[in-house]
């Protein structure tokens, strides 16, 4: 036993032997690491791919996704590998996902990122329209999507009597956008400046709101539904009376106009200046 121990001691005290053993260990470790990486790279991994061609702005459903096995090395870092990041999302405006392609982050967007997404919130019998607003007329940007508002109207008759009343109530706001068409409340960290409130109305109400701004002496105001309204004139009248007044004061909607009314402070001032000049 002692002879064996002495032999092993002399063996490991030889520098050449130690060097050789060290080299062998290093080579073994390098081989193991290389083999592990190769195995990991070629091992099949299940990934979701498009079951058919998906067009721009198309919603992605469960039936649009199938799973296949591909080598791990073929999976790009931008590829989405779980269905929860895909199903219920939409193909980007400038993107198309061909059949068999993996889904990539750059091609998938939320519904709120699509232009005109607010149109899907309207009922079948509603006409899309908008109201031009600003920080003042939205009460410091306190009107948000899914809020309800009332449109109040003030008008001056030929005798100078100022009447006012609720023209339309319970209008659901489906989107609030800034002057460039971006959703004001898209980011919780940075809220934009409101320029348009988007909504939908039945045909009769829609036509009435389009006519009202063209009547001299008429002003429209947006009031959160159920909120207190200050006295806006000499006498408060019923909605039907205001609607009859609009019909009697107008013949038809001017041609080549868009579906919007303006309740910003600037346009109110322009109207007042126009009246003074006349």
Cβ atoms of 176 and 184 closer than 8 Å? yes
Task: Please tell me the predicted confidence (pLDDT) of residue 37.
Answer: 61
For range 235-243, the mean pLDDT: 91
- Closest by CA position to 181, among listed 159, 198, 167, 169: 198
Q: What are the b/e assignments for 121-142, b being 16+ CB within 10 Å?
A: bbeeebebbbbbbbeebbeebe
Of the listed ranges 27-31, 170-174, 180-184, 267-271, the one predicted with least confidence: 267-271
Supply the DSSP symbol for 212.
Answer: G
**Residue with more model confidence, 274 or 89:** 89
- Whether residue 170 has pLDDT greater than 70: yes
Q: For 232, phi and psi rounded to 5 degrees?
A: -105, -5
Of the listed ranges 1-5, 95-99, 163-167, 242-246, the one predicted with least confidence: 1-5
Task: Please tell me the predicted confidence (pLDDT) of residue 87.
Answer: 94
Task: Please tell me the predicted confidence (pLDDT) of residue 31.
Answer: 62
- Whether residue 117 has pLDDT greater than 90: no
* Secondary structure of residue 226 in the 3-state scheme: coil
Whole-number mean pLDDT of the chain? 80
97 band by pLDDT with thresholds 50, 70 and 90: very high
- Whether residue 277 has pLDDT greater than 80: no
Share of the chain above pLDDT 70, in %: 74
Burial of 90 (0-12, 13-18, 19+ CB in 10 A): buried
Report all structural domains of the chain as residue ranges with CATH numbers, in order of start.
44-113 (3.90.1210.10), 117-277 (no CATH)
Task: Please tell me the predicted confidence (pLDDT) of residue 210.
Answer: 87
Specify the pTM. Answer: 0.58
For range 212-233, the mean pLDDT: 86
pLDDT in tens, 246-271: 988 886 555 555 667 676 665 555 55
143 band by pLDDT with thresholds 50, 70 and 90: very high
- Whether residue 19 has pLDDT greater than 60: yes
Q: What's the CA gap between 60 and 137, in Å, rounded? A: 38
- Whether residue 172 has pLDDT greater than 90: yes
pLDDT in tens, 49-83: 999 999 988 899 999 999 998 887 778 889 998 88
Of the listed ranges 25-39, 43-57, 214-228, 231-245, the one predicted with least confidence: 25-39
For 215, the token pair is: 């009547």
């Amino acid at each position: 036993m002692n002879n064996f121990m002495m032999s092993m001691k002399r063996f490991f005290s030889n520098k050449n032997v130690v060097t050789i053993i060290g080299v062998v260990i290093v080579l073994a470790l390098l081989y193991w690491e290389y083999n592990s990486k190769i195995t990991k790279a070629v091992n099949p991994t299940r990934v979701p791919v498009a079951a058919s061609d998906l067009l721009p702005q198309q919603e992605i459903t469960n039936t649009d996704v199938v799973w296949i096995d591909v080598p791990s090395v073929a999976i790009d870092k931008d590829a989405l590998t779980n269905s929860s990041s895909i199903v219920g999302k939409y193909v980007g405006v400038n993107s198309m996902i061909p059949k068999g392609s993996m889904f990539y982050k750059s091609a998938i967007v939320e519904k709120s990122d699509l232009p005109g997404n607010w149109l899907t919130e309207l009922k079948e019998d509603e006409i899309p329209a908008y109201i031009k607003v600003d920080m003042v007329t939205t009460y410091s940007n306190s009107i948000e999507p899914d809020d309800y508002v009332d449109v109040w109207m003030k008008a001056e008759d030929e005798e100078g009597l100022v009447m006012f009343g609720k023209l339309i109530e319970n209008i659901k706001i489906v989107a609030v956008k800034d002057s460039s068409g971006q959703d004001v409340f898209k980011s919780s960290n940075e809220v934009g400046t409101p320029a348009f409130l988007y909504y939908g109305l039945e045909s009769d109400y829609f036509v009435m709101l389009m006519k009202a701004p063209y009547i001299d002496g008429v002003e429209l105001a947006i009031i959160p539904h159920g909120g207190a309204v200050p006295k806006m004139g000499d006498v408060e009248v019923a909605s039907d009376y205001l609607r009859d007044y609009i019909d009697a004061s107008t013949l038809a909607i001017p041609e080549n106009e868009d579906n919007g009314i303006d309740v910003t402070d600037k346009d109110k001032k322009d109207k007042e200046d126009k009246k003074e000049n006349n």
